[in-house]
């Protein structure tokens, strides 16, 4: 199925697999999603809601965010997801949230970090500590980032979970701080936690592939300085999240989440060029290192992603050519100095 509209796209992103339905049967209670108003949160919440309904499991799926865009909250409510508006940095509002045996932590700050570093650290490090205390009796799946790793040789196959963190820049350092807070409080309270080191989730309205495809389509130069990337279909990343509760442990389990390939940025641009009938324009040269994530362990546990890189490129190309709506949020995957 090629998504032709946002409705079809969101239906596809949130369509649960049998493995998702089986996971819902194992949750043994409600699911609380913190920071659910961003790019991934709405379809993750809807996927969870659909998985529970199709599995015949009676539980609440509760999405918590500031919901600065009321349309997102309205959409979630239409999908049967309960919503709560809260500023998670407010101690009273955090304390007032309902208890739940299963918590997904998605709240984070990346873009705009440079120039407002204190807020970045508050959201990425202080808030996880407060959440880890507030929900110490829950199982927690917390989104982290492959940015905690150093740049590694392109020929290495990517950083594995055994690669020591060596974050570049304050954003990545604060993400490692997030992990350390969950690790500390998990060990203190025995809270079962999974840390998902994700890069990069993509769909048709945003993501690395869209960034490259738009440049090719608009005849703008494609920067080759970060010459290789990993990507995973957002629906597949959401599925891993919902199934990861069974891995939760103390000390926390760490899991890389991305696609199986190391993809050349030059190759991606040329594939888009073939779809659009144009010759890509490049600038810069490929460095011997890149931010790369090896998710072989994840694939062994959960299987390979359901949507291939070639399929994603084809879908994104058709979306761009058809003038589909985009979110206007570039990933800045080209950044090598950690300044976002």
> Domain residues of the chain, as ranges?
6-321
Mean pLDDT, residues 304-329 taken together = 96
Alpha-carbon distance 50 to 53, whole Å?
A: 5
Percent of the chain with pLDDT over 70: 99
For position 115, what pLDDT does the model report? 75
Q: Choose among 50, 64, 58: nearest CA to 29.
A: 58
Q: Taking 70 as the threshold, does the pLDDT of residue 111 lie above it?
A: no
Contact present, 120 and 171 (Cβ < 8 Å): yes
The pLDDT tens digits of the residues spanning 279-305 come to 999 999 999 999 999 999 999 999 999
For CA atoms 284, 286, 289, 294, give the dihedral sign.
positive
Alpha-carbon distance 327 to 211, whole Å?
A: 11
Alpha-carbon distance 37 to 45, whole Å?
A: 10
* Dihedral, 206, 74, 107, 172 alpha carbons, nearest 10: 20
For position 113, what pLDDT does the model report? 58
Mean pLDDT, residues 40-46 taken together = 97
Mean pLDDT, residues 266-285 taken together = 98
Mean pLDDT, residues 92-108 taken together = 97
For position 340, what pLDDT does the model report? 80
The pLDDT tens digits of the residues spanning 125-180 come to 999 999 999 999 999 999 999 999 999 999 999 999 999 999 999 999 999 999 99
Q: Taking 90 as the threshold, does the pLDDT of residue 1 lie above it?
A: no
Q: Taking 90 as the threshold, does the pLDDT of residue 116 lie above it?
A: no
If one counts every other C-beta atom within 10 angstroms of the C-beta of residue 192, the result is: 19
| 190-to-137, 178, 182 alpha-carbon distances in Å | 8, 17, 11
Q: Mean pLDDT score of the chain, rounded to an integer?
A: 96
Helices (DSSP H) in the chain: which residue ranges? 6-13, 18-26, 41-54, 70-78, 91-95, 117-121, 127-134, 169-189, 208-217, 234-243, 265-276, 296-302, 309-321
Alpha-carbon distance 93 to 86, whole Å?
A: 6
Topology of domain 6-321, per CATH?
Rossmann fold (3.40.50)
Alpha-carbon distance 44 to 235, whole Å?
A: 8
Contact present, 299 and 260 (Cβ < 8 Å): yes
Q: Taking 70 as the threshold, does the pLDDT of residue 332 lie above it?
A: yes
Q: Taking 80 as the threshold, does the pLDDT of residue 79 lie above it?
A: yes
| Both structure tokens of 175 | 């993400």
Contact present, 12 and 3 (Cβ < 8 Å): yes
The position carrying tokens 């130069």 is: 221
For CA atoms 241, 197, 113, 134, give the dihedral sign.
positive
Alpha-carbon distance 263 to 244, whole Å?
A: 26
For CA atoms 143, 148, 149, 151, give the dihedral sign.
positive
| Both structure tokens of 11 | 């239906």
For position 112, what pLDDT does the model report? 63
């Amino acid at each position: 199925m090629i998504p032709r509209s946002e409705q079809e796209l969101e239906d596809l992103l949130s369509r649960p697999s049998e493995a998702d339905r089986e996971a819902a049967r194992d949750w043994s209670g409600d699911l609380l999603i913190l920071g659910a108003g961003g790019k991934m949160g709405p379809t993750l919440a809807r996927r969870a809601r659909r998985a529970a309904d199709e599995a015949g499991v009676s539980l609440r799926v509760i999405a918590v965010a500031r919901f600065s865009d009321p349309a997102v909250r309205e959409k979630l409510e239409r999908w049967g997801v309960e919503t709560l508006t809260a500023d998670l940095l407010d101690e009273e509002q955090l304390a007032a949230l309902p208890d739940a045996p299963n918590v997904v932590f998605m709240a984070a700050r990346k873009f705009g970090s440079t120039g407002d570093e204190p807020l970045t650290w508050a959201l990425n490090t202080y808030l996880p500590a407060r959440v880890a205390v507030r929900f110490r009796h829950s199982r927690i799946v917390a989104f982290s980032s492959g940015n905690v790793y150093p740049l590694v040789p392109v020929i290495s196959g990517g950083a594995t979970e055994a690669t020591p963190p060596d974050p570049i820049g304050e954003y990545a350092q604060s993400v490692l701080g997030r992990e350390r807070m969950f690790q500390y409080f998990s060990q203190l309270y025995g809270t079962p936690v999974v840390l998902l080191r994700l890069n990069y989730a993509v769909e048709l309205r945003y993501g690395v592939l869209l960034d490259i495809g738009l440049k090719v389509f608009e005849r703008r130069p494609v920067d080759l300085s970060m010459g290789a990337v990993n990507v995973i279909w957002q629906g597949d990343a959401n599925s891993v999240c919902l199934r990861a509760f069974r891995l939760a442990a103390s000390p926390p389990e760490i899991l890389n989440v991305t696609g199986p390939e190391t993809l050349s940025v030059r190759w991606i641009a040329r594939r888009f060029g073939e779809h659009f009938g144009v010759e890509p324009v490049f600038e810069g040269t490929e460095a011997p290192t890149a931010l790369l994530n090896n998710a072989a362990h994840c694939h062994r546990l959960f299987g390979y992603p359901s949507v291939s890189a070639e399929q994603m490129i084809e879908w994104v190309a058709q979306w761009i050519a058809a003038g589909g709506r985009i979110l206007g949020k570039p990933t800045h995957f080209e950044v090598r100095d950690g300044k976002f």
